[in-house]
């Protein structure tokens, strides 16, 4: 299965595409969609939408996954992040692919085994789980790859549970 993971941000939206059977994961591509902080929010959202549509077109994933909205100390920041997430959900819906949504805790537990893992730990485990030798451009791209791995692992676990229920 080919999975696109997205780490939403108003200035940097990370993305990562993996090929996975739920156990073994291979990075196909990753990057960051940058939107200038000096631009109005609506222009940043348009740039992010355009970038995500291009990634979806170029890599043709079977599924996509994003992080759920989480409570933030700064409500204004949380609302802006929710706007970016909405743009990501729209691009995924337009591509007509399966969507997975995961809490930050679930993503970290899936990748690192510990829900309060630091970003450096997540990046290290993403590299270990995928065998990626090269550098991951940013923490945003690394986090996006972690979201994709979480989805692939979750799909495998769900399929195993269904198979077990049918026996």
**21 counts as catalytic:** no
**7 counts as catalytic:** yes
> Residue 150: which of 91, 113, 102, 80 has the closest Cα?
102
Q: Which position among 67, 68, 101, 118 bears the catalytic label?
A: 67
SS (H, E, C) 79-129: HHHHHHHHHHHHHHHHHCCEEEEECHHHHHHHHCCCCCCCHHHHHHHHHHH
Say if CB 52 and CB 87 are below 8 A apart: yes
Q: Which position among 68, 101, 139, 140 bears the catalytic label?
A: 140
**140 counts as catalytic:** yes
Residue listed under structure tokens 């355009």: 50
Catalytic residues: 7, 67, 140
């Amino acid at each position: 299965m080919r999975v696109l993971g997205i780490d939403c941000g108003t200035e940097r939206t990370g993305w990562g595409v993996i090929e996975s059977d739920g156990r073994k994961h291979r990075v196909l591509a990753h990057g960051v969609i940058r939107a200038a902080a000096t631009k109005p929010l609506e222009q940043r959202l348009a740039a992010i939408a355009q970038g995500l549509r291009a990634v979806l077109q170029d890599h043709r994933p079977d599924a996509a996954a994003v992080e759920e909205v989480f409570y933030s100390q700064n409500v204004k920041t949380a609302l802006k992040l929710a706007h970016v997430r909405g743009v990501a959900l729209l691009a995924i819906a337009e591509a007509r692919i399966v969507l997975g949504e995961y809490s930050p805790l679930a993503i970290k537990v899936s990748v690192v085994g510990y829900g309060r893992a630091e970003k450096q730990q997540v990046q290290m485990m993403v590299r270990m789980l995928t065998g990626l030798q090269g550098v991951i451009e940013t923490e945003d791209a690394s986090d996006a790859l972690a979201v994709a791995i979480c989805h692939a692992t979750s799909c495998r676990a769900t399929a195993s549970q269904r198979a077990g229920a049918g026996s």
